[in-house]
Amino acid sequence: MSRIGKQPVVIPAGVTITVNSENIVTVKGPKGELKESIDRDITVTIADGQVVFVRPTDQIRHRAMHGLYRALVGNMVKGVTEGFKRDLELVGVGFKAANTGNLLDLALGYSHNIIFEIPKELKVATLTEKGQNPKIMLEGIDKQLIGQVAAKLRSLRKPEPYKGKGVKYAGEILRRKAGKAAGK
């Protein structure tokens, strides 16, 4: 049995969860509201301040969906109460980041600046301190959206393995390669 799927999601104070007839779960909390469509095979019940997910059979597909939807609803509950945060660092000479509202202006060593529009559901902030790499901070209630935007920003200039230049997640440890061997 799915170890994650059989654990109930505890509903904290200030959060309301509703399930409609089309199996759409709505989570409302102090930071906002999120919706997720649940597969019709998975049964969602709310009782005693907990959300419980039940699958009909032990098929591989049902076992996978069981744990998946429990994790998604758990992340939604965490998002509307605490929120999620993702930090990125720009490593490289002349790499810069600035934002005006939800427009991010990145100088990543190309011949032109990259203008990246952040979805309105997320908050973005940039920080440039002397002697440190520029940072981009993403905040929001949707874990999937934050991860997707952070991955897209990282893909604009992935860290290269020799010097480590590029856009990387804060705290990410890069595998480094040795350079060319010295001549004989």
Cα-Cα-Cα-Cα torsion 60, 63, 65, 67, nearest 10 degrees, comes to -140
pLDDT at position 33 over 90: yes
Residue 36 lies in a domain: yes
pLDDT for 3-15, tens place per residue? 888 899 999 999 9
Domain boundary among 33, 49, 81: 81
Predicted confidence band of residue 184 (pLDDT cuts 50, 70, 90)? low
Please report which helix (H) or strand (E) contains residue 72, including its range. helix 60-81
Residue 57 lies in a domain: yes
How far apart CA 4 and CA 11 sit, in angstroms, is 16
Q: Count the helix, strand and coil residues of the chain and give each as a percent rounded to the nearest 5.
A: 20, 35, 45
CATH number of the domain residue 129 falls in: 3.90.930.12
Domain boundary among 46, 81, 116: 81
pLDDT for 106-151, tens place per residue? 999 999 999 999 999 999 999 999 999 999 999 999 999 999 999 9
Residue 89 lies in a domain: yes
Residue 142 lies in a domain: yes
Domain boundary among 48, 81, 114: 81
The pLDDT, as a whole number, for residue 179 is 85
Structural domain count of the chain: 2
Domain range for 153 is 84-169
Mean pLDDT of all residues in the chain?
92
How far apart CA 26 and CA 36 sit, in angstroms, is 7
Residue 105 and residue 54 in contact, taking contact as beta carbons nearer than 8 Å = no
Residue 180 lies in a domain: no
How far apart CA 11 and CA 25 sit, in angstroms, is 13
Residue 2 lies in a domain: no
How far apart CA 7 and CA 69 sit, in angstroms, is 11
